[in-house]
Amino acid sequence: MYPVFRYGWAMLKARRLPPLGPFETHVSRHRCWPWDIDLWLELNNGRTLTLYDLGRIPLAVRTGLLRVLRERNWGMVVAGCSVRYRRRVRAFDRIEIVSRLLGWDARFLYTEQAMWRGGECANHMLVRSALVSAAGIVPPAEAAVALGLPPDSPALPPWAAAWIAAEAQRPWPPRR
């Protein structure tokens, strides 16, 4: 089940925080609850992705991106991600989610997120998001201009660019 109440609370808190520049970092604090765990009594990998929503969407609020999406009747969808898991997160652990926009290309926005527990990085994610309208994918440069930014993205870090290049080689649709 999607954590609707947690999402609502995260949105309320984000609206009360000061605005962020487009490449500044949003930090949110959460707890791993018993309904977030798997059979091994640690944070479920699917729930990890859901909890990252609780960092990424408030980031969009604080940077003004959500306002632009609403004004233009656009949506934002996840179009791919890569997660590196390194430390366990167990029930009742306190976690911090650190989120920041890295940049964009002709089709997607790229956001880096990390989940920290007790001063150690538990996992790290690169997420590719598409802005969408009734007509299809919206070039991120349009959103950048609406936010008062230049249409061209700053250079993406080499590790993110390498992931993008690797994803471009992956066949779609996959073989059955």
Q: Where are the domains of the chain?
A: 4-169
Q: DSSP character for 105? A: -
**Interval 64-111: pLDDT, tens:** 999 999 999 999 999 999 999 999 999 999 999 999 999 999 999 999
pLDDT (mean) for 7-16: 90
* Euclidean distance between CA atoms 92 and 39, whole angstroms: 15
End-to-end CA distance of the chain: 29
4-169 classified as CATH 3.10.129.10: yes
Q: Which of these, 47, 45, 42, 7, lies nearest to 28 by C-alpha position? A: 7
* Euclidean distance between CA atoms 151 and 143, whole angstroms: 8
Percent of the chain having pLDDT more than 70?
A: 99
**Interval 22-32: pLDDT, tens:** 999 999 999 99
- In degrees rounded to 5, what are phi and psi of residue 95? -130, 155
The pTM score is 0.94
Q: What pLDDT is attached to residue 25? A: 98
| Residues 34, 91 contacting (CB under 8 angstroms) | yes
CA atoms within 13 A on the CB side of 31: 5
Q: Is 103 left (phi over 0), alpha (psi -120 to 50) or beta?
A: left
* Euclidean distance between CA atoms 27 and 46, whole angstroms: 21
* Euclidean distance between CA atoms 146 and 71, whole angstroms: 10
